[in-house]
Amino acid sequence: MQLVGSDLVCVRGGRPVFSGLGFAVATGQALVVSGPNGAGKTSLLRMIAGLLRLEAGRIDLRGGASELTTAEQAHFLGHQDALKSALTVTENLQFWTRYLGAGGVGAALDAVGLGGLAELPAGYLSAGQRRRLSVARLLAIKRPIWLLDEPTAALDVSGQGRLAELMHKHLAGGGMIVAATHGPLGIDADKELRLGL
């Protein structure tokens, strides 16, 4: 499987952000997207996820499930953790598994170190714990493409190490990762795409 972007153009608020952008990432590979603030890192991830319209160009998933769109085969982990504060940790993850399908809720919570907090309302979680709960969604609902926007934000050293292990397993299992970041991810990137140069 290969995710390919060709001649991509992004315009935000009438202002060109990037143009003529291309990339390719294959099964088992990680592509790190770097560059200064405002260079279009998040916009690129949102384009791949189907959340932002392409001004021009194409994004193709070659070898994926032909009956699904690229967006339906990807997880987007953005800056904001999409959680309901009044729901428990388990209920938040159950919502996503019912909405998106699948569901290894207990195993996913254990994998991110939140199994002991399963019945706690999400509103009581720290920023790092909220981030870990968002990461648990990647595990509970299997999709080959992980689109990660500053995934280590708010994570302590232990949480960053745990995330690195999960990313390694995802890649070893035939997944692919496109990650926008300013800092190290704890994994070796097969490819790097620098924006804003």
The pLDDT assigned to 99 comes to 80
Provide the 8-state DSSP code for 60.
E
Region 23-52 average pLDDT = 95
Reported as a pLDDT band with limits 50, 70 and 90, residue 197 is: low
pLDDT value at 103 more than 90: no
The CA distances from residue 144 to 33, 37, 71, 87, 173, in Å, are 18, 28, 11, 28, 9
CB neighbours of 147 closer than 8 A, spacing ≥ 6?
A: 45, 48, 49, 74, 75, 76, 77, 178, 179
pLDDT of residue 80: 81
Confidence of residue 96 (pLDDT cuts 50, 70, 90): confident
Compare 111 and 79 and report the one with higher pLDDT: 111
Residues whose CB falls within 8 Å of the CB of residue 97, separated by 6 or more in sequence, listed in order: 103, 105, 140, 141
Query: 121-141, pLDDT tens digit by residue?
Result: 999 999 999 999 999 999 999
Q: What is the CA radius of gyration of the chain?
A: 17
pLDDT of residue 186: 85
d(CA 195, CA 191): 13
Domains of the chain: residue spans and CATH: 2-194 (3.40.50.300)
